[in-house]
Amino acid sequence: MISVVKMLVLTVWFLILLKCSVEPVNQENIVTSLDKIENEKKQLISLKQDSFLSHEKTPPNFKVAIFGDSGVGRGFESVLELVKKEQADMVIHLGDFSYYLDHHYGAQIWDKKVNEILGEKYPYFLVAGNHEAPGWNSYVELFYKRLQHLPQGTCKVAQGVKDLGVKSYCNYKGVFMLLSGVGSVGIGHESFIRSALERNKSSDWKICAWHKNQNSLQLGHKPSEVGWAPYKLCQTHGAVVATGHEHSYGRTRTLTEVSNILKDHGAIGANDEVTLAPGKNFVSVIGTGGKSFRPYNCLKGALDPWWASIYTTNYVVKNREPVKPLSCVDNLDELKEDDQNTIDFGVLFLELNFGGQEKKARGRFVTTKGRVLDEFMVTKEN
């Protein structure tokens, strides 16, 4: 009798899994279909609640493309073309996708462009930004659809599928990604981030990704909206921090005391060599995904010592060497969407296990016009 019941339960689970992987999503009714997915996902999570993510090894030269703040215009297309040209293995999109107030419509255009250039099955991970905060469900649905092409259990959420990109983490090809809405969407992030990092200590590479930032860790006028706790937690675990929101690029040296501005966030080491270890990481802002391009905030004065490389409209520095001297007189306007044919947007590429070395990575910030405006080596000490 017991074995008959067992068989029955296993059959039901099998049918649920089968249904989840093949059933098309009804785009006409976001709420209803999302709730339906929610129920299925909860069942999947409960089924696997005691299992850990796969500990797949990162392949040699595994290339991760990171950017945010794309819009869905010509600029975004040029960024996707760059990702394709660079033959990146996956994308982390740091939020602010379409900027449309009609989020459902905006999400559809965003998805169509990604599908056209990279394909429906391309591994593409999302983080919620402020511009889609009220309509995140539209993106969750598309994110979930994409996950169906990846191994089961690639991503985990705090409670339900609506937490994807908000309180979630994924592990793909040995790369742990914290995908957080901290500062943009949701509450109670700190405890989730802490437990996510604790559960994934053994991952080969760790990347903390969220949209917003702290004022001293971006190059423009953005206020501090994340708080220091997420930065500190990711530093404790030696995870790269990737953010967006400000529409320019910046990458720090190795930081050892993030939040301690009086001590330059504990910046140490060479400009073109950063270290990842417990208590050591670097922070990057990559808001150059296609929407617009902004200047360095001249009120900041000289470039703070924790920055290694920056790319803004009026100031470009590569490993502390000026490429374009600071100008606080001209070109201080934001270059907007209309200028997308002329703006040179950019992507941060991290090539993990560079040259087959398991503790090395190469970082490059490449623009859509082919300029390499940042280049650095990453050494993992843990």
Pick the piece of the chain touching Fe ion (CB under 5 A) from 88-96, 159-167, 266-274, 335-343. Answer: 88-96
Q: Which helix (H) or strand (E) holds 7?
A: helix 2-22
Pick the piece of the chain touching Fe ion (CB under 5 A) from 24-32, 41-49, 82-90, 240-248. Answer: 240-248
Q: Measured from the CB atom, is 89 or 96 closer to Fe ion?
A: 96
Q: Which of 38, 77, 96, 264 binds Fe ion (CB under 5 A)?
A: 96
Q: Which residue is nearest to Fe ion (CB)?
A: 245
Provide the 3-class DSSP secondary structure of residue 215.
helix
Cα 355 vs. chain centroid, distance in angstroms? 24
CB of 131 to Fe ion, least distance (A): 6
Q: Which of residues 116-175 bind Fe ion (CB under 5 A)?
A: 129-130
Q: Could you tell me the CA-to-CA distances from 283 to 96, 103, 150, 256 in Å, in that order?
A: 19, 29, 28, 11
Q: Measured from the CB atom, is 173 or 245 closer to Fe ion?
A: 245
Q: Which two tokens stand for residue 219?
A: 């190059």
Return the amino acid letter for 238: G
Return the amino acid letter for 69: D
CB of 222 to Fe ion, least distance (A): 8
The DSSP annotation for 226-266 comes to: S-HHHHHHHHHTT-EEEE-SSSSEEEE-BBSSTT-GGGGGG
CB of 275 to Fe ion, least distance (A): 29
Q: Which of residues 343-372 bind Fe ion (CB under 5 A)?
A: none
- Asked if 245 touches Fe ion (CB under 5 A), the answer is yes
Looking from the CA of 186 toward its CB, the CA atoms found within 13 Å total 29
Return the amino acid letter for 230: P
Pick the piece of the chain touching Fe ion (CB under 5 A) from 202-210, 232-240, 244-252, 274-282. Answer: 244-252
Pick the piece of the chain touching Fe ion (CB under 5 A) from 89-97, 151-159, 277-285, 289-297. Answer: 89-97
- Residues lying near Fe ion in the complex (CB under 5 A) are found at 96, 129-130, 245
